[in-house]
Structure 1
Amino acid sequence: MFGFQRDSVRNQREHLILLLANVHIRLEPKPDPLSKLDDRAVDVVMTKLFSNYRKWCKFLSRKHSLRFPQGAQPQEIQQR
């Protein structure tokens, strides 16, 4: 409606891309090919993001609302 929502989404998208790129370029051993995002970078960013979220929920004495399919690992879910 006012346009700031669109800008906010763009900023958040850019921030996520830069987070992934930062982690990706620092991976050891180096990904092959370097031009393709390595799954390990997604795992690292996802773990950090959800870790902060879980800590925040604990601080607020609330249960987190992360839901993964039963028996699935977060690494499997990101592939979808």
Structure 2
Amino acid sequence: RYYGEDVPDDSEAKEFRELITEVVENGGVLLLVGTDTSAVTVKWAMSNFLNNLEVLNKAKEEIDAQVGEERFIDESNIAKLPYL
């Protein structure tokens, strides 16, 4: 069935509209929440590193040893960074 197609049962059309409305509303919330969660997680991690220099140095040593000092970390490196 396509949106806008004649539906013989009006209650079925109403249920469909309600479902579409719910999906759109939840999609917006999930997008917003997902973005905010990532930002908060990064802030939390950076704050903890700055407040625990020993932990920061250990993480830096692991990154330098596994990834290298002149490279950026990418997804393929994550498995090699258990401490981080």
TM-score under structure 2 normalisation?
Answer: 0.36
Structure (1 or 2) with the greater helix fraction: 2
TM-score, length of structure 1 as denominator length: 0.37
